[in-house]
Structure 1
Amino acid sequence: MESSQSVSRFEAAQKAINSIGLGFDITLDINFDNCKSIGSPLIFINNDEQHCRHLEIPGGVTIPNVPNSIKCVRGESIRIHSEVLTLHQMLEHFNHEMRLVGETASGHFCASFGLSGRCIKELASIKSLAYDGWFIKRYAVELERYHGELHDYVKEAVPSSWDPEALARFIERFGTHVIAGVSMGGKDVLYVRQEHTSDINDPASILKLLKETASMKFKDSADNHGSASEDFSNKKENIFMIHRKRGGSSKKMYHSEWLDTIDPQPDVISMHLLPLTSLLLGIRGSGFVSHAINLYLRYKPPIDDLHQFFEFQLPRNWAPILSEIRLGSYWKHQMNTWLQFSIFGPKLYINTIP
């Protein structure tokens, strides 16, 4: 049993270290499976033998041949009770935790509050948000020193013009950001989402509901044991409470029992991300990529339709230019001889015979 736990710890730590420098699309939830695994990092990390060493990971795990530029920091366990925040305040809070700038709704944010990955319309319905939960960070691996140098194959893939297919292919291949750090451990959190149609206007009422439900979730009682992974929703008041657990065992158990399963089964609970656009400065075509990524993050079209979305960003003439229209009786006569309409009736009839 101890051997299998050590393997799990080793594999988790290896995944965390190997993810450093990979591309990531922040419209997706944080998950190793969502990393842009293309065989090598997007950024230069010196990994020759002279610049590598064995890295000690909390939990008795040693990872060999880790670049000196990647460090490991021991974490801590903390319970966080948020205030009742507006959408923009919560977006800033979530993005700050991931070291992102702005109010982009990341895939991690959407997944936490029970929203779809393409949650543009759902965001407009949000009145307030809050959460209460335990964050068990066992350790974090991250770049200690980084000078922002992309590999040549990434630079060469930057389109030099507004090429919709090439831009879509670039984002699909490399993502929108670069992973610079990963926090490992577990978290057990209750998230509350209140919609504008809710009649509750007192934030204290939302906090009271959240606190009472969280106390039941996190205490070791028979009631908690049976409902450890169930979500709650109050349709009448349009309040939704979502339970998210990451890391440790996925089985229903007491909270204290779950805590004991985190060390042998840690998972990624947070990421530190660098905008890919900040690393493209000075590269020909970087302006097109930056604009494309900004549009993608703002409107979140499906990745399979991204090239078509970019097609519509090109300036187009949706009507004939005045100088191209032939005027005069001759033009009207010619048009009337071969195209005749009859709009009186249930159908439209077109006579194409001169």
Structure 2
Amino acid sequence: MAGRFNEKSGISERIPLGSFNGMFNFTGSWQVDAAGTKSLAMVGHFIPLYKVQIAKVNLVLHEEVKRAVPYSWDPASLASFIESYGTHIVTSATIGGRDVVYIRQHQASPLSASDIENYVNDIAYQRFQDSKSTSIAAPLKYKDKDVTVIFRRRGGDDLEQSHAKWAETVQLAPDVINMTFTPIVSLLEGVPGIKHLARAIELYLEYKPPIEDLQYFLDFQIAKGWAPEQNNLLRKEPVCQSLQFSLMGPKLYISPDQVTVGRKPVTGLRLSLEGSKQNRLSIHLEHLLFLPKVLQPHWDAHVAIGAPKWQGPEEQDSRWFEPIKWKNFSHVSTAPIEFADTSIGDLSGVHIVTGAQLGVWDFGAKNVLHLKLLFSKSSGAAQ
């Protein structure tokens, strides 16, 4: 549906614009919103009165705008450009009124496509036919089925509950009900640094950080790598503790290697099966290859930050132990890991994850897999 909205707005981009996000109350990143949504629907009435548009075919931006494009990946300058000039140029606007219902079915909803279709028809009948024979509460029959319904009007007197009476007021108080756009980067072809601006705009639209945080968000959009490097696959098999999920089942060995990345913030982790028999579980860390500018004054190589510290869950806290398959065999600790070792008077700075290690607590048949994290202090950085 986002593609159809973009097409109606005159653009061919795949990432939805803010107008689409606002209609369905999408506030997270594009991929997160899409993953949490099973289906979208809308039903409504549009009353266009007139349309205004830019008559000039070949649009040209002022030189001031072109000069504001940074030549390199400069997060502060890129964020300033987007805040000052936006991401798209408005090329036309349709004026009138619209009364639309937007339906968002969440991924956990058990309703079928036909159920949703019937639900949409129920809402449309009651919203737009001004029917008195059907209870106004009827559409709420799916309120516990993970479906969000949003009623939105533009133009007219929104105090009029009746759709028919509202429609009569549109001419007295029209509003913008649709706009078409052209991407600002399409008007900056040939300008040095345009590829950096295009990338920044794409990230801004995809992840939707608050504009006041955009500079810091972009600062962290740099190259990433994985540790440890995969150049030691032929090394000798280490001696490891193991987990067992059933009485006669095979063992899963757990690599005890401490994986550390130095002063490079960890951005993700993954588990992988290694060894000649693919029966050894190891942890890998994704990390930034370079230090973001915002961290350099607080975490560069010349800054004293003290020794990093390992932090893990409490060994005896069985409240967090979950069986992997059977309760009489191996478990995993689901306890959260937070750095809480703050000394009195030491309230400045933050602690950043720079390492990880898998471990096994030996409780006989009920061995418990757990995770430890390495925290390094970034002195003086704001939380």
Normalised TM-score (structure 2)? 0.56
1:172 is matched with 83
**Aligned residues of 1:127 and 1:195 also touching (Cα < 8 A):** yes
Distance change >3 Å, CA 255–CA 122, structure 1 → 2: same
Alignment partners' CA distance in 1, 2:58 and 2:224: 41
1:306 to 206, 214, 219: 214
1:260 is matched with 168
User: How many residues in Structure 1 have an aligned counterpart in Structure 2?
Assistant: 241
Q: Secondary structure at the match of 1:199?
A: coil
Does 2:112 match 1:209?
A: no
Give ranges in structure 1 of 5+ residues lacking alignment. Answer: 1-89, 322-338
1:269 is matched with 177
Q: Secondary structure at the match of 2:13?
A: coil
2:108 is matched with 197
Does 2:48 match 1:147?
A: no
Alignment partners' CA distance in 1, 2:132 and 2:52: 38
Alignment partners' CA distance in 1, 2:183 and 2:13: 11
Does 2:17 match 1:109?
A: no
Does 2:165 match 1:279?
A: no
Q: How does 1:1-12 map to 2 (within 5 A)?
A: none
Q: More helix by proportion, 1 or 2? A: 1
**What do you get for the CA RMSD once the two structures are aligned?**
3.4
Alignment partners' CA distance in 2, 1:153 and 1:224: 59
Distance change >3 Å, CA 243–CA 348, structure 1 → 2: closer
Q: Secondary structure at the match of 2:125?
A: helix
Does 2:33 match 1:125?
A: no
Alignment partners' CA distance in 2, 1:241 and 1:349: 46
| Post-superposition offset of 1:253 | 3.0
2:8 is matched with 97
Q: Could you report, residue by residue, the CA deviation over 1:263-322 in whole angstroms, capped at 9, with x for unpaired residues?
A: 11000111100001111101122122112111211222221111111211245896489x
Q: Secondary structure at the match of 2:191?
A: coil
| Post-superposition offset of 1:223 | 7.4
Q: How does 1:215-230 map to 2 (within 5 A)?
A: 215-222=125-132
Distance change >3 Å, CA 222–CA 291, structure 1 → 2: same
**Aligned residues of 1:139 and 1:183 also touching (Cα < 8 A):** yes
Counterpart amino acid of residue 211 in structure 1:
N
Counterpart amino acid of residue 249 in structure 1:
D
Q: Which moved more, 1:137-146 or 1:272-281?
A: 137-146
Q: Could you report, residue by residue, the CA deviation over 1:79-121 in whole angstroms, capped at 9, with x for unpaired residues?
A: xxxxxxxxxxx11111111112132122221222233376653
Distance change >3 Å, CA 348–CA 94, structure 1 → 2: closer
Distance change >3 Å, CA 315–CA 208, structure 1 → 2: closer
More RCO (CA 8 Å, sep 6+): 1
Task: Give % identity.
Answer: 35
Q: Could you report, residue by residue, the CA deviation over 1:228-285 in whole angstroms, capped at 9, with x for unpaired residues?
A: xx99583432122211111100103321111111011000111100001111101122
Alignment partners' CA distance in 1, 2:214 and 2:117: 40
**Aligned residues of 1:341 and 1:349 also touching (Cα < 8 A):** no
Q: Secondary structure at the match of 1:263?
A: helix
1:157 to 49, 53, 68: 68
Distance change >3 Å, CA 283–CA 218, structure 1 → 2: same
Give ranges in structure 2 of 5+ residues lacking alignment. Answer: 226-260, 265-305, 315-339, 344-383
Q: Secondary structure at the match of 2:172?
A: coil
**Aligned residues of 1:134 and 1:189 also touching (Cα < 8 A):** yes
Alignment partners' CA distance in 2, 1:243 and 1:292: 33
**Aligned residues of 2:69 and 2:81 also touching (Cα < 8 A):** yes
1:54 is matched with none
Q: Could you report, residue by residue, the CA deviation over 1:21-79 in whole angstroms, capped at 9, with x for unpaired residues?
A: xxxxxxxxxxxxxxxxxxxxxxxxxxxxxxxxxxxxxxxxxxxxxxxxxxxxxxxxxxx
